[in-house]
C-alpha cells in the first residue's frame, strides 16, 4: 500500500495512492485504520511531506564508498543526528537555494524508514516489525555553510532543504533496491540501496537502548554519493520498488529585491 499526505481545501489530509487518484482518508494509517472520505486526481494533487515526525533522525556516514570518498573513519557502531521539520517539503515542491549560498549545493538521495510503533529496548526482530513503511528523502546540503558553521543548522535545515516523498510504500524489501538520482533526466548517481555499514534495524536497536521511538518518527539512512544542483534543474530520486521523488530547484530572490517587493 502507498500512503501520503496532500493539501485538500487548505488542510493536510492523509491519502492512499491509487492508479489515477489519491483516496483521502479520515486519519493517519500509522495510528489506525482510517476510512475513505473522497478522492483527488493524482495529476493535480499538492503533495506534502509524507509525515511530520515527532523526531527526525538522520544517519550520516553510512555507505562504504561515501566514507572512503570523504576519507572518514568507518563507524564502529550506529549513530544518528537530527534534522528539523521546518525544512521538510513535499514531492513536486521547489527546493529553494538561499541567496547567500555559494559553491557546492548538493542533493543526497536517501532511503527513509517510517516508524509505526512505540518502542524501547527493541530486538532486531522488534526493529523490523516497527517499520510502517519506506519513503525517499533528499538531504539537500549547502557545503560552504556546512564547513563554516558549528552545526548543520542552515547547511542542512534551511527551509525546503528536506524533500520527503512521494509516498510511504508499505510492501517492499527496501534494502534489496537500487537508488538512482537524475538531474534533468540524466542519471548522475546510482547505488545499491542496501549497501550500508549499519542497516535501519541496527540503528533502531541502538537508538532504542536509550531513546523511545514513536509512531511517525523518520530515520533517514544516508547516501552513497551526492550531486550538484543549480537553479532551473529538476532533481529526481528513484528507489526501485518505492517510487520517484521529484523537485525543481529555484534560486531565492536576493534580500534587496524581496524588500522592494514588500
Q: Which residues are at the interface with its own copies (CB under 8 A)?
A: 52, 54-55, 60, 75, 79-87, 98, 100, 120-121, 149-151, 153-154, 157-159, 207, 209-214, 255, 258
Q: Write out the chain in H/E/C secondary structure.
A: CEEEEEEECCEEEEEEECCCEEEEECCCCCCCCCCEEEEEEHHHCCEECCCCCCCEEECCCCEHHHHHHCCCCCCCCCCCEECCHHHEECCCCCEEECCCCCCCEEECEEEEEEECCCECCCCHHHHHHHEEEEEEEECCEEHHHHHHCCCCHHHHHCCCCEEEEEEEECCCCHHHCEEEEEECCEEEEEEECCCECCCHHHHHHHHCCCCCECCCCEEECCCCCCEECCCCCEEEEEECCCEEEEEEEEECCCHHHHHHHC
Judged by beta carbon, residue 175 or residue 211, the one nearer its own copies is 211
Spatial CA neighbour of 87 closest among 50, 60, 115, 49: 49
Residue with cell 488542510: 11
CB of 188 to its own copies, least distance (A): 26
Nearer to its own copies by Cβ, of 81 and 232: the residue is 81
Taking the complex as a whole, the smallest distance from the CB of residue 100 to its own copies amounts, in Å, to 8
Of 19 and 71, nearer to its own copies (C-beta) is 71
Q: Minimum distance between the CB of residue 29 and its own copies, rounded to whole angstroms?
A: 22
Choice between 69 and 120, CB closer to its own copies = 120
Output the CA torsion 37→40→42→47 (10° steps). Answer: -80
Q: How far is the CB of 121 from its own copies (least distance, A)?
A: 7
Tell the smallest beta-carbon distance from residue 153 to its own copies (Å).
5
Q: How far apart are CA 194 and CA 178, in angstroms?
A: 8
Cβ closest to its own copies, residue 35 vs residue 118: 118
CB of 118 to its own copies, least distance (A): 10
Beta carbon of residue 124, minimum distance to its own copies (angstroms, whole number): 16
Nearer to its own copies, 82 or 178 (CB): 82
If the CB atoms of residues 169 and 217 are measured against its own copies, the closer one turns out to be 217
Amino acid at each position: 500500500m502507498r500512503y501520503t499526505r496532500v493539501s485538500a481545501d487548505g488542510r493536510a489530509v492523509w491519502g492512499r495512492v491509487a492508479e489515477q487518484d489519491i483516496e483521502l482518508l479520515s486519519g493517519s494509517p500509522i495510528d489506525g485504520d482510517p476510512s475513505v472520505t473522497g478522492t483527488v486526481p493524482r495529476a493535480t494533487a499538492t503533495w506534502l511531506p509524507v509525515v511530520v515526525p515527532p523526531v527526525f533522525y538522520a544517519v550520516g556516514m553510512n555507505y562504504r564508498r561515501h566514507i572512503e570518498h570523504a576519507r572518514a573513519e568507518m563507524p564502529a557502531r550506529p549513530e544518528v543526528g537530527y534534522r528539523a521539520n521546518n525544512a521538510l517539503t513535499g514531492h513536486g515542491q521547489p527546493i529553494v537555494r538561499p541567496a547567500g549560498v555559494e559553491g557546492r549545493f548538493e542533493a543526497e538521495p536517501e532511503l527513509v524508514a517510517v516508524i509505526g510503533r512505540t518502542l524501547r529496548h527493541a530486538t532486531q526482530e522488534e526493529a523490523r516489525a516497527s517499520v510502517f513503511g519506506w519513503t525517499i528523502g533528499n538531504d539537500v546540503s549547502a557545503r560552504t555553510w556546512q564547513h563554516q558553521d558549528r552545526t548543520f543548522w542552515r547547511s542542512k535545515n534551511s527551509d525546503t532543504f528536506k524533500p520527503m516523498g512521494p509516498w510511504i510504500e508499505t510492501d517492499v524489501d527496501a534494502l534489496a533496491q537500487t537508488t538512482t538520482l537524475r538531474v534533468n533526466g540524466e542519471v548522475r548517481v546510482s547505488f545499491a540501496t542496501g549497501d550500508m555499514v549499519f542497516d535501519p534495524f541496527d540503528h533502531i536497536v541502538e537508538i532504542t537502548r536509550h531513546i523511545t521511538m514513536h509512531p511517525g518518527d523518520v530515520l533517514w539512512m544516508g547516501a552513497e554519493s551526492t550531486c550538484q544542483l543549480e537553479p532551473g534543474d529538476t532533481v529526481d530520486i528513484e528507489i526501485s520498488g518505492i517510487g520517484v521523488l521529484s523537485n525543481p530547484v529555484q534560486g531565492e530572490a536576493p534580500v534587496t529585491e524581496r524588500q522592494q517587493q514588500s
